[in-house]
Structure 1
Amino acid sequence: MTDPIDSLMAALARTGPGSSDFDLNPGTILPEGRRLRPAGVLVPVTLAHGAPRVILTKRSSALKHHPGQIAFPGGKQDEGDADVIAAALREAEEEIGLTRTLPQVLGTLPAHETVTAFTVTPVVAVVERTFDVRPEPGEVEEVFSVPLAHLMRPENYSVQSRRWRGQRRHYFTVPFGPYYIWGATARMLRGLAERMQQ
């Protein structure tokens, strides 16, 4: 049986292009002078319960932006952050109570550009011990995990669409049980899945 850390390290070592919310929507017209803001999200792979699982969050339905959506812990890089990795670790500690010294960072995936003008770097890390999950009130509604094996099978992904700001937008989905994982989160996971299959 292949060691999951070895598989992830090999996947992260492979080169390739980044991704974007426009991969499936090539006709998107972006505003002139658009400036991208750096952000980092943590892709925490927990080994504490046997088979590896990826920790995800369900955003609070009270939030102004992306309410109720499934997301990685993370956010924009602040002035006090050394880089996007530091931003991802800080946000994970704030959002779910994952002490920033606990994850073992394995590396990063190429950045993902969002329609909301962020360039998001996925930071893949292994969490070998259990921790006291503390969802940030008002920001995180739920913290849950999905088997890494489910997310690493490209056949579990599908392309769906909906109308957004008057246009039909297509996006990836990778549902799991009651959780509808879609959009940028699903696209970044699919990018990792593609590398794991190479």
Structure 2
Amino acid sequence: MFLNQVKTPVKNAKYAHSIQYYVLFTLIAITGLRIGEALALTWDDINLKNGELTVDKTLVYPLNTQPYISTPKTQSSYRTIKLDDHTVTLLKKHRVNRNEVVLMYTNYVQPDDNTIFFQHEDKWLKTNVVREYFKEVCKRANLPVLSPHALRHSHAVHLLEAGVNIKYVSERLGHSSIKTTADTYLHVTKKIEDQAMEMYLRYVK
């Protein structure tokens, strides 16, 4: 519901032709990227042919200070994430769309550094702007007002509930250890353990 709401054009929106937010939020929902990791991405970080995304930096945007690119949160945050075909296709559309947007709106400036997500003034997309937009979409969709981190959280929950190995989930999220993943998603792992025990008992009876 949330992503469908993002995809739906808003009447009289300033940059209605842009699909940037839809692509950004879809990417986070499908990969579990942290918001800073997503905003720091350049096209050099994505191999559309192989369907892979490399995380080796993050965008830091301190309050009332200039943003800057920094190293990832932890050593384990350096990682390569597999992308599905739909997301690869969407990224290809976004690459075309952003060129169209630059031509369509006179105040939109193409960034020099090949950044994937950017503001119209040729700057990184601000994390606080993204969060505010996320809240607006939540309100339009009559959903609880959350932050973009909810998409990362949902991605992890869906993987675990689908029966994906917790070690894989931990590595995909860039957690420092499996324990971090297990502690964070204790409610999910407990549910999986209960289901596994039920399956085992049915098997041995």
What TM-score does the superposition give when structure 2 sets the normalisation length? 0.28
Larger relative contact order, structure 1 or 2 (CA cutoff 8 Å, min sep 6): 1
> Which has more radius of gyration?
2
Determine which structure has the larger helix proportion and give its number. 2
